[in-house]
Structure 1
């Protein structure tokens, strides 16, 4: 029951994020006098709608996105100078079909309310408003969690000691196979509760710095720990072992290995810590979005029974399932379950922001790039005293936009299948 409740709650959280995104576009478009005929959450058949003023508000059957419909997205067709008809090629027919669909709802009284007629900076604001709304929501959620609840931060106190040396990609990390080497920490006598004070002659107060020192060291090293109020010097012999790269669960490197894990302490962040943490989230999310094409082989392998990494791409189905898994988990407290669900929702909004900023049509970033190019082109024409070249005709890019859309759809279907047959799990 908790799994189902978690899935439903998170699913509606995702729908709210989509509606919130489109609300940004809607508000900015209306602010600049652009007529918006539809505001829809979802695609396909309309389940419910109501018209208020110029705009029809509604919910559609397939909840995998949303849109607003603005009149005059593309400028009118220029005169054909070489006598070619609109149907002279499939691409040209595609362009003109898109232009015609954009112009269908334009009435004489709405001639002055078309999107393409707005100056480039206004069009940029309209297209940026959607992703920025997702960014604002993500920042708001992260800030509330980091400052109000806190985040678990690793300390220099030992939580557990590994019994033996196993590579990071070992199939079972809980069982030491016969003949496995004892872990350096276990061999040297480390115990849970030990607080590491010095490592190789240098004092450490944060786990991050200590971890880097451990990963960069091999051989015998003196380590001073506080145990029961007394300082004790231990002498582990660090060895090299395969470990996940910092910030990754799917990439590995060979580094110095001690064989212990730190305790986690709930710490509330100040403004500086919030800014640093959110900046790290944005950077990591951007990196993961850029890596999406590289994850195709892993997704295909996961569909046919391969390992599914925790940082594997997920769609709305996979994300909702994670929400159900979090809410039903008995490995963390109720407060932590709620905070983790909000963290997941904030992460989804951050991903929507970064993904939509890609300068590709039909994404928002593609329209922003077109408006920027128009601004540069007009500025250059004015500088060299040439005639105004007019608005940039994004309709000419529709064949490319359709091709990119097909790639997005194929990738989404691949992720959907992987989410169903081999879902990502957190616990």
Structure 2
């Protein structure tokens, strides 16, 4: 992508925005950066800085190319104002990938993206392939493509926010894990949210591959489709939650070496393996990569066992689908702790599963009251205000041989800075129990 002599406006001065600024400068562009914050720090010399930016600031942002950071609402008036003054508007992922010549494995889905992305990177490295996890995983793609040398493969976790702004983005392998309503505080409808995610397939043709969960409601895809499932044995990859089978042949026993447990993790593993096999990774490498692997923190993480009760931290469950997956994977009587910010989600579909798996529930946070009223149709519920109170209440309801499952089912921003802080707080409190 030739940027010499072009003017590039970067909207958002966070880590993704700073990476986009660095890449634009490397290409010889004149760069401006706008952010709503009253101060913008850490920018290289020569960059025009515009703090306290609003819609009126767009008149100073006329440019050949507008690069929008993924945290900024693409549907909002700020982006609309700046887009009207730009020759083209794209996001950080699109901008980075226009500067990358290697292979791309892109992973999307409502849940499981991070575990799958991490597994892809691990399998590639075990096979001697320089693959780097990036994107929504935590490292901006612009940072990665500027490495010298650049990696051979991007293991790119792609959120709906990042996919909204793709144009030419065409992954060699696109992974679709699952779909359920989420981010209804950002999207005007479920259909808009799904349409953003579906853009991962938009430019794929018969020469590319789509790895998809069988049974998902997807349009006809031009790419070659490889399917996986824990429900349908006719899929290319199938698992009962322990054994991973490829077209009827058992390949992996997850309980021999790995710390992956439950059907949701089996799906993540199958998706990652299927994607890496497209790039030529062999079975021996896959065995080596999975040996000793533990999924990322805050995903049904065993914190401790106390008085015969397992305490699980699933703080990464920020939506209904993640909560359902965590409940479905439990085999012991559950006391569920759920709650947090009101994201406008409909929790009624979880009631049958809650009645089947849980003996009680404790709700907390902004949606404590409304969630308790709904959950009371399935199990006894105790609503409280804070996470400390929720842990105390859960301990009163749990029984020896059971599980306290902290799976909030919504985001954390009513009381915490993110799911990591929320999960760390849960772990700290639980470790102090006596």
Q: Shorter-chain TM-score: what band?
A: under 0.3
Tell me the TM-score normalised to structure 1 length: 0.21
Tell me the TM-score normalised to structure 2 length: 0.21
Q: Which has the higher helix share?
A: 1
Considering Cα pairs closer than 8 Å and 6+ residues apart, tell me whether 1 or 2 has the greater RCO: 1
